A and B are shown apart, each in its own frame.
Chain A
């Protein structure tokens, strides 16, 4: 554990809580891609199967359980509780275009051809692209509420901090997880365009982020 890793995990947690609170308080999930949230729930489910097989630390176990619970709560709020506010007409990204290649890749490129390893790899690859329905939705409607952009900012910050964590771990422990690092870098690149808009539009302006 290093400061980048801890800050990354905290950013991830903050992002998820921001989204959950936004939906809960406004009683609306307008502007939120339910598809992205389902993909994140699948990511956590397939990655954290090791909760049943290996104990790493209390921190690790608690965080995994919290991420799982919060992601399922988010999906519940979007598709059940506040279903009538869900903007399905603009949440039209075809997730099969993500799921099929990600499934194929996880069978081809993994550390071992076992169900657990393939599912872990699948979760890493899927996480890299899971935000695409949300970004697609913003592009389609041309705007995002500022609270939604704060959510995306913390999600992107989490990814950037994980890269710093890997650089740190590589130099101090010789740790290098090729699958996680390559997908993590790809994932972070998706946020670059958004980061630019966030700084120029949201932080300097106020209210909604509108696309040029």
Chain B
């Protein structure tokens, strides 16, 4: 998992 990944979970 990369830093640029969007964190879509709450």
Q: Which residues of A contact B (CB under 8 A)?
A: 5, 9, 12, 50, 54, 56-57, 60, 63-64, 67, 111-112, 114, 117, 120, 162, 165, 176-178, 180
Contacts and interface: CB of A to CB of B under 8 A. Distances in A.
A9 B6 contact: no
B1 A178 contact: yes
28 contacts: A5-B9, A9-B10, A12-B10, A50-B7, A54-B6, A56-B6, A56-B8, A57-B8, A60-B8, A60-B10, A63-B10, A64-B10, A67-B10, A111-B1, A111-B2, A111-B3, A112-B3, A114-B3, A117-B3, A120-B7, A162-B9, A165-B9, A176-B1, A177-B1, A177-B7, A177-B9, A178-B1, A180-B9
A112 B2 CA distance: 8
Contacts of B9: 5, 162, 165, 177, 180
Contacts of B1: 111, 176-178
Task: Determine the main DSSP class of B at the interface with A.
Answer: loop
B8 to A, nearest CB: 5
Contacts of A64: 10
A64 B7 CA distance: 12
